[in-house]
């Protein structure tokens, strides 16, 4: 491929209609535009829902740009060299989040150059994927939670996920019981503790909540508590889901070989883009561990339809790029009822605006 000749950055922030936490109402992206020596262009983005956008922008503007300019625009050959170059600043976190913006832009350039959309470029395996409604609003009252669950039911979703980790376990039990009563016995129910518990609290909570038949318990412990996860997996029989806060293929391999990964949830941006996500997905497939990409359905569904095994698409209410007014053209991912459909477009099909216009929430 041709060499990278130019990298441009644009910060984009948008106020969320349903904030995930009251004190962080904005979502942040860094749009990354690349141009190669032949004048071909590609567009990607880095993403951080609450903090770190300034650090991500600085890393892209300084170290990543300086390293990438003049190098081949092939994302798969650039990624490992760039990661090794940046490793002194950290093997993951801000480092890989920033790397994702360039990686996505280079995949977009490759797909556009070949006149293809991302699924056609990677090799589509599925026409549609099942969607679950995801609630990230632990601050909701029981009435607000019930209304959210009813909206998911009205949409016909086959599964829902709610947050747990309220101050008392009794509150969590009441909220999970309410959700199970509303959705009935046939819909899937996932619960997400968002790293709020220690080992003993996780053990007690899962023991108390297992009667509601949860499909998984997500991030009950701090994401880097390897020893704790190993012990928790020995104590409980509910699958543990994790991965949104793991940043490298090495950490995912550690979770698999440690025997505590019931479901893997890589976030395409946090792991560093499409290139490492595909390596993680291959690792999960080889180990026969289910994959459920974390958030960003406008992007993750495009890659997920190219995996051999069908997987869930996570849809957080009013958090899609279309709903947030972040796109100049419709998203290639359409969520209709219980299913995510991916349309054929050129490149990633995610042309970000610098002036978001929120759509009215139902």
The catalytic site residues sit at 163, 294
Nearest to 311 by CA among 289, 336, 344, 328: 289
Q: Torsion angle, CA of 23/167/315/356, rounded to 10 degrees?
A: 0
Smallest CA-to-CA distance from 132 within 290, 288, 330 is with: 290
Give the closest residue to 111 by CA, choosing from 101, 102, 100, 122.
122
| Residue 110 CA to its chain's centroid (Å) | 22
Between the CA of residue 279 and those of 7, 228, 283, 284, what are the distances in Å? 25, 26, 6, 9
Residues whose CB is less than 8 angstroms from the CB of residue 268 and which lie 6 or more positions away in sequence, other chains included: 100, 274, 277, 293, 296, 299, 300, 303
Residues 6+ apart with CB under 8 A from 356: 12, 13, 14, 324, 325, 326
């Amino acid at each position: 491929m041709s060499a990278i000749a130019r990298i441009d950055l644009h910060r984009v922030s948008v106020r969320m209609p349903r904030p995930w936490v009251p004190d962080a109402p904005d979502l942040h992206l860094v749009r990354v535009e690349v141009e190669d020596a032949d004048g071909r262009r590609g567009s990607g983005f880095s993403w951080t829902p609450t903090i770190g956008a300034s650090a991500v922008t600085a890393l892209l503007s300084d170290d990543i740009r300086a390293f990438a300019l003049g190098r081949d625009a092939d994302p798969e050959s650039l990624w490992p060299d760039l990661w090794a170059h940046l490793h002194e600043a950290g093997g993951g976190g801000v480092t890989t989040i920033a790397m994702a913006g360039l990686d996505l832009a280079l995949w977009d350039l490759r797909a556009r150059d070949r006149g293809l959309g991302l699924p056609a470029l990677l090799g589509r395996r599925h026409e549609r994927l099942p969607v679950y409604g995801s609630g990230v609003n632990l601050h909701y009252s029981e009435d607000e939670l019930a209304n959210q669950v009813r909206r998911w039911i009205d949409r016909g979703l086959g599964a829902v996920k709610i947050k747990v980790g309220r101050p008392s376990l009794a509150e969590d039990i009441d909220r999970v019981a309410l959700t199970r009563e509303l959705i009935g016995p046939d819909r899937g129910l996932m619960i997400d503790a968002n790293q709020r518990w220690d080992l003993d609290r996780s053990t007690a909570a899962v023991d108390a909540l297992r009667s509601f038949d949860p499909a998984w318990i997500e991030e009950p412990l701090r994401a880097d508590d390897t020893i704790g996860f190993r012990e928790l997996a020995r104590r409980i029989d509910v699958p543990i889901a994790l991965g949104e806060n793991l940043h490298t293929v090495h950490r995912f391999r550690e979770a698999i070989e440690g025997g505590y990964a019931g479901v893997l949830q890589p976030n395409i941006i946090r792991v560093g883009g499409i290139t490492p996500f595909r390596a993680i997905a291959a690792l999960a497939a080889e180990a026969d561990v289910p994959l459920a990409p974390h958030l960003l359905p406008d992007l993750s569904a495009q890659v997920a339809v190219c995996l051999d095994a069908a997987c869930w698409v996570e849809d957080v209410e009013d958090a899609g790029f279309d709903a947030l007014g972040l796109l100049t053209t419709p998203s290639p991912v359409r969520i209709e009822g219980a299913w995510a459909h991916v349309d054929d477009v050129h490149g990633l099909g995610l042309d970000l605006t610098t002036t978001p216009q929120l759509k009215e929430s139902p």
